[in-house]
Structure 1
Amino acid sequence: MIRENRTFAEIRPGDSAELMRTCTADDFFVFATASGNHNPLHLPEHDHDGDGVKDEPIAPAMWVGSLISAVLGNILPGPGTLYRAQDLQFLGHAQAGDDLVARVTVLEKHDDGRVRLATIVERPSDGATLVRGEALVQAPSAKLSFEDLDLPGLVVQRHRHFDTLLERARALPPLTVAVVAPEEPNSLGGALLAAEHHLITPIFVGDRTRIEAAAREIGRSITQVEIVDTSGHVAAANKAVDLIAAGRAQALMKGHLHTDDLLRAALRKDNGLRSGRRLTHVFVMDVPGLAHPLLVTDAAINITPDLTTKVDIVQNAIDLAISLGIPEPKVGILSAVETVNPAIPSSVDAALLSKMAERGQITGGIVDGPLAMDNALDLKAARTKGLTGAVAGQAEVLVVPGLDAGNMLAKQLTYISKAEGAGLVMGAKVPIIMTSRADGEKARLASCAVAAVHHARVSASRVAELAQQ
């Protein structure tokens, strides 16, 4: 878009121009960062009046007023304009989601090249005037035109999807979780943190002496937590599975032990947690700038899955996505290309999985593949390649060809795209919570929240099924 200014000679009293802008919560974070004004009144997820309820943020008044400068600098007078003075009266407040119109009208011209303009910001939805005042600017004397500047994009590192998930999970009864070998500070601290947030009620299964030593190291009391004293990680994993088989726990959580030891106990033949499906791991990623949670699978358990295993990988991910509130998950089966190439086995598997979903062998979601990474997530890239299906460019679940690709993708999202990732093992009778020592506080909480929300939906479905019998 070419922007052309109005020179001082071209401007006439009565000339007017306006721009519309939609308020977003991210605008308020950007303003807080740029201005240094961190007043919580203007930021989401804060209790502004101290009543214990989080309130909708109010747009910073100076941010609303700054919309006037966009009209002056872009349209009237336009490029080359310099501010000399601005007075503002703040008459109302805006909130995220409001459409605002900033308008300027020329009042008079001075002989020295200055122009005085009436300035106003209104909310068209109710006709409210939010800001009124006058601006004095130095109008450009030379004709200028610019192609609209390609400014660097800004991504606010906010994890709104996990915030919503945590709120949803806190409304549920705490999930009783058998935590296996929380014998060092990270694993113990993560379980205690989730308990403090009323997401879980932990039962610690492991060496009591080591668990108590870890608690002392982080300065925490665990006197209110049940400890099942068990020596050795293999024994602890089996004892935790016994607790689930006896109905004393509703989920399993990995502590400071090898994943193989935990899953071997879960998959034992006698009173194990087998459900008839393969165990598969799902990362739930909250990626800043992405409008929905992104599920990545399998990035932790199945190294080179065959087609049969991939069916379970896809179905488990769909089931979890539904629990997270995605009614009909869009599943993109990833490959290096978006066309079937017999020389690339992942592209063949992707096409077969897509057809199996079409025939009802995979249910609950929309499955399409093969898709390359770009046209799975970017609608413009998908349309450029001529892909018009419901999944292309809009995938909510990404199924990777193998563990290598999945692990790299998940870590790229975490360390480059600043995503937070929750981990859950699916395919067992109960959720298995998997966290990493490198996980931050929000990721640990989110993993427990994902387990709680999924358990609640599955339990409700089982009750409904029994009622119909």
Structure 2
Amino acid sequence: MQRENRTFDELTVGETAELKRVCTADDLFVFASASGNFNPMHLPGYDLDHDGRPDEVTAPGMWVASLISAVLGTILPGAGTLYRSQSFEFLGRARAGDDLVARVRVTAKHDDGTVTLATSVHREEGEEELLRGEALVTAPSTKLQYEEQDMPGLVVQRHRHFDALVAQAEPLPPLIVAVVAPEEPNALGGALLATRHTLITPILIGDVGKIAAAAAELGESLDGIEIIDIADHAAAANAAVDLVVEGRAAAVMKGHLHTDELLRAVLRKENGLRTGRRLTHIFVMDVPGVPHPLLVTDAAINILPDLATKVDIVQNAIDLALSLGIEQPKVGVLSAVETVNPQIVSSVDAALLSKMAERGQITGGLVDGPLAMDNAINVAAARTKGIVSPVAGRAQVLVVPNLDAGNMVAKQLTYVSHAEGAGLVMGARVPIILTSRADSAKARLASCAVAAIYHARTAGKTRAGGEA
């Protein structure tokens, strides 16, 4: 973007400028690192009230005030402006997620080349004034036209959402998990790591020799862990389902076997784990810079889902999001466009899913579509397109058109945006933990945490309702 400053001679009394900015949690971490102000009130994840819940994050007053500097230095007067003095009166508090507007207005010009400006910052919704003051600056004397610098991006590489999920799951009773074919180090290591964090109690089912060899390679002990020696993968998967049917296990975890072998046992007609819904896969992703977990579905099971399958995909994702504490999940149904085009099937399906949610055929969340990826997760992009919706720009669940798109979205987030992804299959009687050989230890641990939290929340509801 080309910028042009306003010299002292060009400035007129009454001239105004403004800059809009969304306050994100990562802004607060960057400010803390740059300023040295590590007041926990201004950092996500702290429980200052000791009530077991993280407190609402309040932006530091000087971070809000810094938005005034951004207007003065880049817009009015612009490049070449130097501060002489600045007063502030703090009238309210900004919080992570707020849309803010910083404004300046020229109130006086002085013979020494200085300019006085009234300054303020407002919360855009409701125009609540958070800060007001007065700035005295030396205005630029030389005219400058320049291209706005392409600043290097800052990525705050934290996986705070996964840390929070693990912390939430650790106090729960360990989830008894039938782990199928944990016969290589990655598959076994994830189960043992979750065991150390008290998230699960594993029952290992597979070739006992290969399991022991994997443990030896990891330098881990299997003392006290139940192992069922079944070398054949199909038979091991059936044994895992039997444990669930018998009430001895409350989840199934994929080890070193093909996904279809595991799901074939889950879907068997006799004593399987069917519920009447389609099995659907959900990635729970912790994306640096995104202030909430991002659920992506379906990226692993349903290749070309029809509308009926997409209904189950959406409902399963909403149910999981609710169990994770997202009170009213915002579901963005993705397409290549944000308007309905009869030639683009995904746009038509998205509109139908949105209407079905309005009519109560999908419950528990807000569903909107079609949305393109940018205006589903970026408020500014949604505004640019003129999309007015509680979901647009704020989606917590992304429903993709097909498996190809979902796989690409998930891997792009992982390998370009440095995200971690936990994987769970929903739609069966119990959660199915689906991990990949490429998953990190953090992702495997988070997958178990998500399953444990979901089981605890849904089991509690079932007991309360008196259902079998």
Same fold (TM over 0.5): yes
Query: In structure 2, what is the equivalent of residue 154 of structure 1?
Result: 154
Secondary structure of the residue aligned to 1:425 is: strand
Query: In structure 2, what is the equivalent of residue 304 of structure 1?
Result: 304
Tell me whether 1:371 sits opposite 2:371 in the alignment.
Answer: yes
Greater Rg over alpha carbons, structure: 1
Query: In structure 1, what is the equivalent of residue 115 of structure 2?
Result: none
Matches within 5 A, 1:24-173: 26=26, 30=30, 150=149, 152=151, 153-173=153-173
Cα distance, 1:368–1:30 mapped onto 2, change above 3 Å: closer
Whole-angstrom CA distance in 2 between matches of 1:176 and 1:283? 22
Q: CA deviation at 1:317?
A: 0.6
Contact 2:25 2:289 in 1 (8 A): no
Query: In structure 1, what is the equivalent of residue 223 of structure 2?
Result: 223
Q: CA deviation at 1:380?
A: 2.2
Secondary structure of the residue aligned to 2:327 is: coil
For residues 96-143 of structure 1, the C-alpha deviation after alignment (integer angstroms, 9 at most, x for no partner) is 98xxxxxxxxxxxxxxxxxxxxxxxxxxxxxxxxxxxxxxxxx99965
Whole-angstrom CA distance in 2 between matches of 1:82 and 1:400? 49
For residues 384-436 of structure 1, the C-alpha deviation after alignment (integer angstroms, 9 at most, x for no partner) is 22221222222111111110010001000111111111100000000000111
For residues 307-355 of structure 1, the C-alpha deviation after alignment (integer angstroms, 9 at most, x for no partner) is 1111111110110111111111111111111122121111111122112
Which AA in structure 1 matches 2:422? A
Tell me whether 1:334 sits opposite 2:334 in the alignment.
Answer: yes
Contact 1:287 1:419 in 2 (8 A): yes
Whole-angstrom CA distance in 2 between matches of 1:23 and 1:329? 21
Cα distance, 1:2–1:192 mapped onto 2, change above 3 Å: same
Structure 2 length-normalised TM: 0.75
Query: In structure 2, what is the equivalent of residue 399 of structure 1?
Result: 399
Secondary structure of the residue aligned to 1:183 is: coil
Whole-angstrom CA distance in 1 between matches of 2:39 and 2:365? 40
Query: In structure 2, what is the equivalent of residue 320 of structure 1?
Result: 320
Secondary structure of the residue aligned to 2:423 is: strand
Contact 1:80 1:144 in 2 (8 A): no
Which AA in structure 2 matches 1:158? R
Query: In structure 2, what is the equivalent of residue 251 of structure 1?
Result: 251
Structure 1 length-normalised TM: 0.75
Secondary structure of the residue aligned to 1:320 is: helix
Whole-angstrom CA distance in 1 between matches of 2:148 and 2:176? 55
Q: CA deviation at 1:448?
A: 0.6
Cα distance, 1:23–1:314 mapped onto 2, change above 3 Å: closer
For residues 24-59 of structure 1, the C-alpha deviation after alignment (integer angstroms, 9 at most, x for no partner) is 874686479889x9x99999889xxxxxxx9999x9
Question: Percent sequence identity over matched residues?
Answer: 70
Secondary structure of the residue aligned to 1:387 is: coil
For residues 236-274 of structure 1, the C-alpha deviation after alignment (integer angstroms, 9 at most, x for no partner) is 100111111111111000000000010000111121111
Which AA in structure 2 matches 1:330? K
Contact 1:4 1:146 in 2 (8 A): no
Secondary structure of the residue aligned to 1:439 is: coil
Q: Which runs of 5+ in 2 are unaligned?
A: 9-20, 47-53, 84-94, 97-137
Contact 2:169 2:453 in 1 (8 A): yes
Tell me whether 1:422 sits opposite 2:453 in the alignment.
Answer: no
Query: In structure 2, what is the equivalent of residue 12 of structure 1?
Result: none
Which AA in structure 2 matches 1:169? A
Contact 1:178 1:249 in 2 (8 A): yes
